[in-house]
Chain A
Amino acid sequence: MTRRAALALALGCLLLGPAPADEIHASQRLSGYDMMGAEAQAMQRDDFANPAMLAVKEGEGLWNAVPGQGRPSCQSCHGNAAASMKGVAARYPAREASTGRVLDLPGQIQTCQSERQGIAPAARESAALLALEAFLAMQSRGAPLASPRARGLDDAVSRGEALYRQRFGQLDLSCAQCHSQNWGRSLGGTRIPQAHPTGYPLFRMEWQAIGSLQRRFRNCMTGIRAEPFPPGAAEWIDLEIYLKERAAGMAMDAPAVRP
């Protein structure tokens, strides 16, 4: 896009008032699943062909495992995950009742590991943390993403939206320019999705591995030659909260498959 076109677009947005002109209407929202090819969709629908299910199985083992002598397992406090964790992943990131901190799902798992199990928390993007995340996300499959605004996270939604609209990197692009203004068009052979975080953690064929939402964010940041925030940074969590507000009500399809 030329600078002039970008300026015209920016002015256009201003003239239209507070609601951004590029906001995707609820009836037009499409998940990454809706926008990918039939073969990738078939792979996601078949739990046996979806490699992310290996992580779910591993996560189930970790849920029940005693992490060390005299240390409680996740299961010993939370019981059967199918009941106690049903729908939980769909309302993360969330504010922790006791401390008021806002945690994303991996952050919550790490907190339970360090503060309640008394062990060293698994590192972000480690196989163990992804496995627990995948196992918990599985308990929310089909559940609608809850609105962070409705849970009092307005400030984080606003901060996240500002980041989403901020231009970054040598290519000087914002998330919104691709995911709100140019979704559906192709970028070097890939279709630009609307960036709804319904399926994380997920198996991405390009990675040949399961990865987190923050890994996906990092890929988009390096794609525009910007320096990504460090793992677990507050900016990533704000971005996740904004994207979840934007996707509120959409069904979770985690652990998903993406190209």
Chain B
Amino acid sequence: MATAMILLPRTVIRAGDVVMLKAMISHPMETGFRRTETGGEIPRNIIRQFSCRYMGELVFSCDFHPAIAANPFLSFPVIAARTGPLEFVWRGDNGFLHREQAMLQVAAS
């Protein structure tokens, strides 16, 4: 079971503002290069891909590779247009899939 946290700015957002979104998820990000004490392989188990959609439109995505720390923490900008849903999706090895939703509130100007 993964746990994720989404952080939206706490300030009032107006149309046209560039806002920073932050997303963190609990995940071991096991590289696949490590071995157990008895020499057995520890299979790779990483998140491969992250994407963020704003009102259904893809606004940010990235690929992950083995050299990423556990519990990956991302911070990225989007341009606010109007109040609408944000969807965050992480996909990875062994069919890993985690989804979070949030509402970006944009004040009338």
Contacts and interface: CB of A to CB of B under 8 A. Distances in A.
Please determine whether chains A and B interact with each other in the same assembly.
yes
B69 interface: yes
Contacts of A49: 24, 73
Contact of A54 (B7, B22, B24): B24
B108 interface: no
Contact of B3 (A48, A54, A208, A209): A54
Interface in A32-62: 48-49, 51, 53-55, 57-58, 61
A245 to B, nearest CB: 34
A49 B20 CA distance: 14
A256 to B, nearest CB: 15
Contacts of A51: 24, 26, 70-71, 73
B5 interface: yes
Interface residues of B, number: 15
B3 A58 contact: yes
A208 B5 CA distance: 17
B46 to A, nearest CB: 13
Give the bracket for the number of chain A residues in contact with chain B: 10 to 19
A151 B20 CA distance: 48
A51 B29 CA distance: 14
B5 A58 contact: no
A208 B71 CA distance: 8
Interface string B64-108: 000001110100000000000000000000000000000000000
A208 B70 contact: yes
A48 B22 CA distance: 8
Given A48-B5, A54-B5, A57-B5, A208 B69 contact: yes
Interface string B1-39: 101110100000000000000101110110000000000
Given A53-B5, A58-B3, A48 B24 contact: yes
A58 B3 CA distance: 6
A61 B25 CA distance: 15
Contacts of A53: 5
A209 B70 CA distance: 7
Contacts of B3: 54-55, 57-58, 61
A211 to B, nearest CB: 12
Contacts of B73: 49, 51
6 contacts: A49-B24, A49-B73, A53-B5, A54-B5, A54-B25, A58-B1
Given A57-B3, A58-B26, 19 more contacts: A48-B5, A48-B22, A49-B73, A51-B24, A51-B26, A51-B70, A51-B73, A53-B5, A54-B4, A54-B5, A54-B25, A54-B71, A55-B26, A57-B5, A61-B3, A208-B29, A208-B69, A208-B71, A209-B70
Nearest 5 Cβ contacts at the A-B interface? A208-B70, A51-B71, A54-B26, A58-B3, A54-B3
